Every structure is written in C-alpha cells, then in structure tokens.
DNA sequence: GTACTCATGATACTCGGTCTCAGTTGCAAC
DNA sequence: GTTGCAACTGAGACCGAGTATCATGAGTAC
C-alpha cells in the first residue's frame, strides 16, 4: 500500500485547470486538506479555518469530489471522511482506531469481481470494497477504539 | 398483498427468544418489514404505520440490527437501507435504480481478501463489499434512475 | 391486585448537509 | 486603472435522519 501524499499544489492545479477560481478560502482549504493525507472530515476542515463559512467548506469539498480529486468514504457510522484521491480505480483501508484512510490497489480482487456476474443477478455497474484495519501505529500503541467496532455480517 | 410473509414470524421468534417483548407496534413493524424482502428505509416503515412514533420505529430497527436480524446498508448517498439478514457472512448487491438489495455469498472473494494482508498494512478486522447493479427487472423496463448513479473511483 | 420493568409516543434536540440571498471578489476586456 | 459581470462567499434558515428525554401505558412476575 502506498502512502501517496498529494500537496495542496496538486489540488490548486487541477481546480484551476477545470476552470474554477482559486480564491483565498479555497486555497486555505486546499492547504488544510494537504495536512490530512490520511483523510479528513468536514468538521476538521472547519476547525482549521473557523472563519470560513460552513457552506463554503461543504461546497469546496463537493467541488473536489465532483472533480474526482477527493473520495468520499461513507463509514458504517459517524460522519463520512474524505481523502485525496490518488487517481485511478482503488479501494480504501480504514483504521477503526484512528480513522486513518489508506488507498490500496489490488488487481486480483478486480478480476475476481468480474466473475461475480454469475452470482449476482442483473447488470453490475460498480462496486465498493472497504477493508477495516487496525493500522500499524494503533496496533503498536495497543490503543483504545476511536471509531466504533465494525461488524461484518 | 399478503399481510403475513415468512420474515415476520422469523423476526418475532428471534426477538422473543432474545427476551424482548412482542408488543403491538413491534409486531406491526415486523409485518411491515416482511413486506420489503429487498430492503426498506425507516421512512418506508413510517409510511406503513404513521400511527407508530418515529422514535419507536428507529428503536425497533436498532433492536433488530443489534440482534443481527437486520443489516444496515450505508449507500454512498441518501438514507441508509435495511434488509433482513439471512444469517452468516454475506455481501449485498444494491440496485441503483429501484434500491432493491439482494444478498450474495461468494467464497472466492473471501479467500482472495485473505491475501490482501500483504497489501494492507496493519491488522485486518473486517471488510465490506457492496456491488452496485441494475437488477433484472430494471434492465427490462429500461427504468428511470431512483438512486443516484454510482461512481467507483 | 400490585409493583415493577420495559416499551411507547410526543417532542425537543443534535448533526451533517443543502439552499437562498445579498454582498464581495477575481479577472478579462477595454 | 476602471468597469462589468459571473463566480464565489458568509450568514443563517432550513431539511432530513437519527437520538435523548420524559411522562405515560402495557406486560409480567409475584
């Protein structure tokens, strides 16, 4: 798994290329996002820049999601997290202790999912794989649970 | 439409066995749930029984989730759906048109996920696989989109 | 029948997110 | 440098899903 950490410059570039303005609040939010390579919540961004309006924070996040620069990760419970997308098709490993999100690519999973057609009635249009982990540093610390334990029915 | 479906008796039995009371509102909700073998939202249950309090509907759903009788399916957007669990480990195929949820079991995926340990740093504690489909009847109808299209980054 | 526990409905509240709108800003054209 | 205009902003109202609280009611054990 790679820990690809995009800078705020990457977001600036892409948003600019897409024909959107690079305003003060947006640049501030891009820099804040760059400080959370392992994922952030809207709340965390607001804490970083309390002077920026709530609506602007959510609008900016949505803009980035629309441009495919940020992925929204709907956790089983609690607020969704967002993480800067490394580009291309990938999946997420979410730490249930600290909430850190790491991307991984695993082509074997993709190819196996291709075989699912026989099992799943209808036309497959997409899929989502999320792996819940206790990340290395949380295992080391033997830390307490920050996020709720995950049930996998 | 029948007022009794196999699912409701199953829920009654299990909730009773777990030492919870089988009150009028609960039985009414169990019967309503049985009418949605392909998943339901809290809103749909409330529509079926407007006289039952909002809090009671949510409490009953949570009770069923806690007992493992119902699975909560967090869709990428919109209200979560719930579906009566068939028991055992399984995954969900969600129709993006009509919202129908079908379970599937696919042991090959499980075994492949086992190999992920090399790719994903840390201790894997769970996973979630959801496949988004257009189900047979929606493909036949060429129906309109009920849920938002799914992006798979 | 009584006492106790659990469940209920009403309602207020929280939380994440969106919508609206008047004011501001960025930027291209001149 | 200034102008005009569309894009953007912040404030705050609003929305929907879900939770908390609390007085009341229904079931159950004795």
Task: Write the pLDDT tens digit of every residue in B57-113.
Answer: 999 999 999 888 888 887 766 778 888 876 666 777 778 777 777 777 666 666 666
Residue B80 lies in a domain: no
A8-15, Cβ contacts within 8 angstroms, sequence gap of 24 or more: A8/A33, A8/A34, A10/A69, A10/A84, A11/A64, A11/A69, A11/A84, A14/A67, A14/A69, A15/A63, A15/A64, A15/A67, A15/A69
B67 and B96 both lie in a single domain:
no
User: How many Å apart are A69 CA and D9 C1'?
Assistant: 22
Q: How many CB atoms lie within 10 A of CB A143?
A: 12
Residue A31 lies in a domain: yes
Q: What angle do CA A35, A40, A43 make, to 5 degrees?
A: 110
% chain B with pLDDT above 70: 72
Cα distance between residue B39 and residue B72, in whole Å: 9
**What contacts B110, CB < 8 A, 6 or more positions away?**
B89
Residue A152 lies in a domain: no
Residue B124 lies in a domain: yes
Residue B98 lies in a domain: yes
pLDDT class of A147 with cuts at 50, 70, 90: very low
pLDDT of residue A76: 64
User: How many Å apart are A11 CA and D20 C1'?
Assistant: 41
What distance separates the 2 farthest-apart alpha carbons in chain B? Answer: 53
CB contact under 8 A, A121 and B135: yes
SS3 readout for B34-48 = HCCCCCECHHHHHHH
User: Can you give the CATH number for the domain in which B100 is found?
Assistant: 3.30.1490.190
Top residue of B98, B121, B140, B147 to mutate, by most chain A CBs within 10 Å, is: B121
For residue A112, give both structure tokens: 């196996």
Measuring CA to CA, how many Å separate A147 from each of A92, A94, B120, B129? 16, 10, 19, 19
B59 and B95 both lie in a single domain:
no
B14 and B66 both lie in a single domain:
yes
Residues pairing with A71 in the sheet? A83
Nucleotide nearest to A43 (CA to C1'): C16
* Parallel, antiparallel or unpaired: strands A70-73 and A81-84: antiparallel
Top residue of A131, A137, A146, A149 to mutate, by most chain B CBs within 10 Å, is: A131
pLDDT of residue B121: 66
Q: Output the DSSP codes for B98-125.
A: T--EEEE--HHHHHHHHGGGGTS-SEEE
* Parallel, antiparallel or unpaired: strands B123-134 and B91-95: parallel
Residue A153 lies in a domain: no
Whether chain A has a CB inside 8 Å of the CB on B121: the answer is yes
Measuring CA to CA, how many Å separate B11 from each of B36, B41, B117, B123, B152? 13, 17, 37, 34, 35
Nucleotide nearest to B52 (CA to C1'): C9
Placement of tokens 């400080």 in the chain: A35
| Domain around A78 | 8-141
* Parallel, antiparallel or unpaired: strands A91-95 and A70-73: unpaired
Burial of A92 (0-12, 13-18, 19+ CB in 10 A): buried
Residue A148 lies in a domain: no
User: Can you give the CATH number for the domain in which A70 is found?
Assistant: 1.10.10.10
Measuring CA to CA, how many Å separate A55 from each of A60, A122, B34, B79? 8, 39, 41, 21
Residues of B with CB below 8 A from A132's CB?
Answer: 124-128
For residue A39, give both structure tokens: 């994922």
Residue A26 lies in a domain: yes
B13 and B59 both lie in a single domain:
yes
pLDDT of residue A54: 92
B66 and B119 both lie in a single domain:
no
For the residues A67-90, what does the mean pLDDT come to?
Answer: 78
For the residues A82-108, what does the mean pLDDT come to?
Answer: 74
Nearest CB to A112 within list B95, B112, B130: B112
Report how many domains make up chain B.
2
**Taking all atoms of strand D, which protein residues have CB closer than 7 Å?**
A 20-21, 23-26, 51-56, 59-60; B 21-24, 41-43, 54-55, 58, 62, 79-80
């Amino acid at each position: 798994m790679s820990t690809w950490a995009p800078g705020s410059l990457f977001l600036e570039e892409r948003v600019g290329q897409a024909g959107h303005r690079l305003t003060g609040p947006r640049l501030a939010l891009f820099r804040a996002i760059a400080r959370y390579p392992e994922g952030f919540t809207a709340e965390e961004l607001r804490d970083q820049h309390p002077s920026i309006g709530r609506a602007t924070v959510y609008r900016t996040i949505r803009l980035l999601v629309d441009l495919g620069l940020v992925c929204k990760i709907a956790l089983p419970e609690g607020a969704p997290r967002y993480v800067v997308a490394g580009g291309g098709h990938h999946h997420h490993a979410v730490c249930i202790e600290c909430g850190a999100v790491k991307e991984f690519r695993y082509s074997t999973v993709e190819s196996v999912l291709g075989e699912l057609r026989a099992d799943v009635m209808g036309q497959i249009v997409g899929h989502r794989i999320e792996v819940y982990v206790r990340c290395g540093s949380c295992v080391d610390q033997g830390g307490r649970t920050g996020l709720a334990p995950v049930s996998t029915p």
